Amino acid sequence: MQYKRVSLEEALKLRQKLNEYLVTVQKAIESGSFEGVQPLETTYSPSGDYGKAVLAERPAKGNEPQVRYRQGGDDHLLVEYGNEQFDLNHRCRVTAIEKALRGKDAPAWLKQSLINTVGCCTSILLFYDGAKIDRAKLLAHLQSLEDKLGDLSKIKVPCRRFKLPLSFESKEQTDATARYMETQRPHAPYLPDNLDFVARNNAFSADQLKHNMLNGTLMTVVVGFFCGNTVSLPVDPRMRMASPKTNPSRVFTPEGTFGWGGSCGSIYPVDSPGGYMMLGRTVPCFDYLGYKAGFSLEKPWLFQDFDLLTFYQCTEDELNEKLGYFRSGRYKFEWDEVEFDMAEHNKLLADTADEVKQLREKQAKVQDELITAENESLQKWREDKEKNKVDESTVDALLADPAISTIDSPVDANVWKVLVAEQDDIKPSQVVAILEAMKLEINVQAPEDVKKGKIEKLLIRPGETVKAGGHIALIRHE
């Protein structure tokens, strides 16, 4: 498949032709006669005059940020605030523009054809019916809303302040780390303690990081990605952190994990793969069936943009009790209706600017040292894997022997456990290895027709990956 770049007008005309063709096919099915159906034209030569992806830009003016408008296919338009620099003032503007687009004063033509809006940090994506809304009209409306919004640097934004339990100890997270070290990567600067690593990476002690978590406030800046995954950022710039993600990502992260990746924290809504560094665990923010307090079938996720998150420490046993209440539908989240004062926040930014600058310089130095340590660890890991690989010529020579057969992997997976050794006797249907793929443990067995044989050669080790159909072991039949 090869894509060809076209203009918006060309894309809409092609889509119209496709829709007309589908209508004629539907009518033909209903009538039972296809005589009037003409073949759909499948060749097309673009004009090459496709215009620019950036449709317009508004320069920054006072406390009003720069705005950039990008085309996103024939049904999407992206509005970006600032110049790729995160600021809660920009997140505030995203929230305000989203409310204006969906408010009672929105024009009828917009309500009828605006399908969805997705705010993310400093941008908002509009999903609309490109066949019904004229792009120039939509763009003009968006710019008129900017004029109406004006300066938002001193407004008070209604929001909710949540009080969430947090345990820094969790058997599930400890087990997830142990499994990661067994099946994916045995050593790294972030192993075995993710929290200690994130603290060191930001020139904090582990106790300082915990203090910040329990005494700071985080702002919800993104809700989405997967099952209402909630991404948040510390309101106080002195508490903001940066952290790489695990490489490779974990295949399993327990629900309710509060992790850190890049510059943001995230609450994992369900058991899932993931690469954010695990700092602790809280109550999940997603309800599959939408029956629990605070959830619904229409909105099975809990948090929304601009929610404020605070944490209080609890023991692992206390958290497990709360998780039991949550799973049974009896847990009640603690939250209050409050206002977020942008003027107060901007004063905090100004008052702490020098302190934050010094902290970032200190953090940058530490992060450079840990990047070096990570690169060295990665290199050692790759060398160890290469050193232990069986030479392909050796495998080919053995496979040429008619007394040799293979045991193969049924799926792409990580090798968790190898239960046999070379020269071990092998029995029919004996479990040779246990693989792990998407939280599933998969037993790999010897063939049922093995009568008498030995393991001639093992071709995998715990922690390695294997492709579907890849050889796991060679059997010598006697």
Taking Cα atoms as reference points, which of 449, 452, 444, 453 lies closest to residue 471?
A: 444
Name which of 5-14, 20-29, 438-447 the model is least confident about: 438-447
Residue with the larger pLDDT of the pair 51 and 26: 26
- Give the number of other Cβ atoms within 10 Å of residue 181's Cβ: 16
Amino acid present at 289:
L
Phi, psi of 413 (to 5 degrees): -160, 170
Residue with the larger pLDDT of the pair 251 and 14: 14
Q: Assess whether pLDDT exceeds 90 at residue 350.
A: yes
State the Cα–Cα distance between residues 385 and 396, nearest whole angstrom. 20
State the Cα–Cα distance between residues 197 and 171, nearest whole angstrom. 19
Phi, psi of 269 (to 5 degrees): -75, -25
Q: Return the percent helix, strand and coil in the chain, to nearest 5.
A: 35, 30, 40
- Give strand ranges (E) for 82-180: 114-120, 123-128, 156-166
Reported as a single tens digit per residue, the pLDDT across 208-236 is 999 999 999 999 999 987 888 999 999 99
In order of 255, 323, 458, the CA distances from 274 in angstroms are 11, 21, 30
State the Cα–Cα distance between residues 126 and 149, nearest whole angstrom. 18
The Cα angle at residue 270 between residues 265 and 273, in degrees rounded to 5? 75
Q: Assess whether pLDDT exceeds 80 at residue 205.
A: yes
| Burial class, 330, CB count within 10 angstroms (exposed 0-12 / middle 13-18 / buried 19+) | exposed
Can you tell me which residue has the tokens 């029919």? 428
Q: What pLDDT sits at residue 42?
A: 83
DSSP 46-57: --S----SEEEE
The Cα angle at residue 117 between residues 89 and 84, in degrees rounded to 5? 40
In the chain, the largest separation of any two C-alpha atoms, in whole Å, equals: 85
Q: What pLDDT sits at residue 138?
A: 95
Residues near 131 by beta carbon (within 8 Å), at least 6 away in sequence: 12, 15, 16
State the Cα–Cα distance between residues 143 and 136, nearest whole angstrom. 11
State the Cα–Cα distance between residues 94 and 224, nearest whole angstrom. 15
Q: What pLDDT sits at residue 271?
A: 93
In the chain, the percentage of residues whose pLDDT exceeds 70 is: 100
Q: Which two tokens stand for residue 200?
A: 């060191």
Taking Cα atoms as reference points, which of 75, 59, 251, 206 lies closest to residue 146?
A: 59
Judge whether 63 and 99 are in contact, CB under 8 Å: no
- Give the number of other Cβ atoms within 10 Å of residue 15's Cβ: 14
State the Cα–Cα distance between residues 317 and 351, nearest whole angstrom. 41
Q: What pLDDT sits at residue 325?
A: 95
- Give the number of other Cβ atoms within 10 Å of residue 5's Cβ: 10
- Give the number of other Cβ atoms within 10 Å of residue 419's Cβ: 12
Mean pLDDT of the chain, nearest integer: 92
Q: What pLDDT sits at residue 464?
A: 83
State the Cα–Cα distance between residues 433 and 233, nearest whole angstrom. 43
In order of 8, 185, 463, the CA distances from 389 in angstroms are 52, 16, 13
Reported as a single tens digit per residue, the pLDDT across 130-152 is 999 999 999 999 999 999 999 99
Radius of gyration of the chain (CA): 28
Average pLDDT over residues 336-345: 97
State the Cα–Cα distance between residues 240 and 355, nearest whole angstrom. 13
Q: What pLDDT sits at residue 439?
A: 65
Local structure of 11: helix, strand or coil: helix
Local structure of 431: helix, strand or coil: strand
Q: Which two tokens stand for residue 292?
A: 């629990």
